[in-house]
Amino acid sequence: SVGAAFVGGDRPVLRENIDDLSKMVEEADVLLREKGRDDVEGFGWINLPYQDLSETIKIGRWLSGFEAIVQIGIGGSALGNRMLAKALLPPFYNELDASVRKAPKFYLLENPDPKTAVSLLDRLDLSKTAFIVVSKSGSTTETAAHFLWAWQKVREKIGERASDNFLIITDPRKGILRKFAKSTGCRSLNIPESVGGRYSVLSSVGLATASALGINIEKLVQGAKEMDQRLVLRSHLWENPAWLLACINLLHAKAGRNMAVMMPYGDDLADFAEWFAQLWGESLGKEGYGTTPVRALGAIDQHSQLQLYAEGPDDKLITIIDVKNRPLFLLPDVVDIDALKDLEFLYGKALGDLLSIEARSTASALVKAGKPVIYLNIPEVSERYIGALVFFYEYVTALVGFLMKINPFDQPGVEQGKRYIYSLMGRRGYEEYVKEVEEYFGA
Ligand code: PA5
CA dihedral sign of residues 340, 301, 83, 265 = positive
pLDDT over 90, % of the chain = 91
Displacement of CA 374 from its chain's centroid (Å): 19
Find, among 282, 247, 210, the residue nearest to 399 by Cα. 247
The pLDDT score that the predictor gives to residue 3 is: 47
35 is catalytic: no
Residue 1 has pLDDT above 60, yes or no: no
- Assess contact for 315 and 256: CB atoms under 8 A: yes
The residue whose C-alpha atom lies closest to atom 12 belonging to ligand 1 is 135
Active-site residue identified among 115, 236, 303, 341? 303
The residue whose C-alpha atom lies closest to atom 3 belonging to ligand 1 is 197
- Assess contact for 397 and 283: CB atoms under 8 A: yes
CA of 138 to the centre of ligand 1 (A): 9
Show the beta-strand stretches assigned E in 141-239.
166-170, 187-190
Strand partners, 323: 378
Residue of 77, 109, 111 with the most ligand 1 atoms within 8 Å of its CB, for mutation? 77
Strands 187-190, 166-170: parallel, antiparallel or unpaired by DSSP?
parallel
CA of 10 to the centre of ligand 1 (A): 39
Q: List pLDDT tens digits, range 2-18.
A: 544 556 677 888 889 99
Q: Rounded to an integer, what distance in angstroms lies between the CA atom of residue 81 and that of residue 101?
A: 18
Find, among 132, 182, 130, the residue nearest to 158 by Cα. 130
- Give this prediction's pTM: 0.96
147-178 residues labelled b (16+ CB within 10 A) or e (exposed): bebbbebbeeeeeeebbbbbbbbbbeeebebb
CA of 75 to the centre of ligand 1 (A): 5
CA of 164 to the centre of ligand 1 (A): 25
Q: List pLDDT tens digits, range 191-243.
A: 999 999 999 999 999 999 999 999 999 999 999 999 999 999 878 899 999 99
Q: Rounded to an integer, what distance in angstroms lies between the CA atom of residue 389 and that of residue 391?
A: 5
Regarding the beta carbon of 418 and ligand 1, being less than 6 Å apart is answered no
The pLDDT score that the predictor gives to residue 6 is: 56
Cα separations (Å) of 256 from 19, 290, 292, 294, 401?
20, 11, 12, 16, 17
Mean of pLDDT values over 265-278: 98
Strand partners, 73: none
In this structure, the number of other CB atoms found within 10 A of the CB of residue 419 comes to 17
282 is catalytic: yes
Active-site residue identified among 282, 286, 316, 383? 282
Show the beta-strand stretches assigned E in 266-401.
292-295, 316-323, 373-378
Q: List pLDDT tens digits, range 310-320.
A: 999 999 999 99
* Alpha-helical runs (H) found in 270-343: 270-284, 306-311
418 is catalytic: yes
**Burial of 407 per CB tally in 10 Å (0-12, 13-18, 19+):** middle
Q: List pLDDT tens digits, range 280-305.
A: 999 999 999 999 999 999 999 999 99
Q: List pLDDT tens digits, range 111-134.
A: 999 999 999 999 999 999 999 999
The pLDDT score that the predictor gives to residue 8 is: 64
**Burial of 354 per CB tally in 10 Å (0-12, 13-18, 19+):** middle
Regarding the beta carbon of 423 and ligand 1, being less than 6 Å apart is answered no
Show the beta-strand stretches assigned E in 214-361.
259-264, 292-295, 316-323
CA dihedral sign of residues 406, 409, 414, 415 = negative
Regarding the beta carbon of 74 and ligand 1, being less than 6 Å apart is answered yes
Regarding the beta carbon of 136 and ligand 1, being less than 6 Å apart is answered yes
Mean of pLDDT values over 393-405: 97
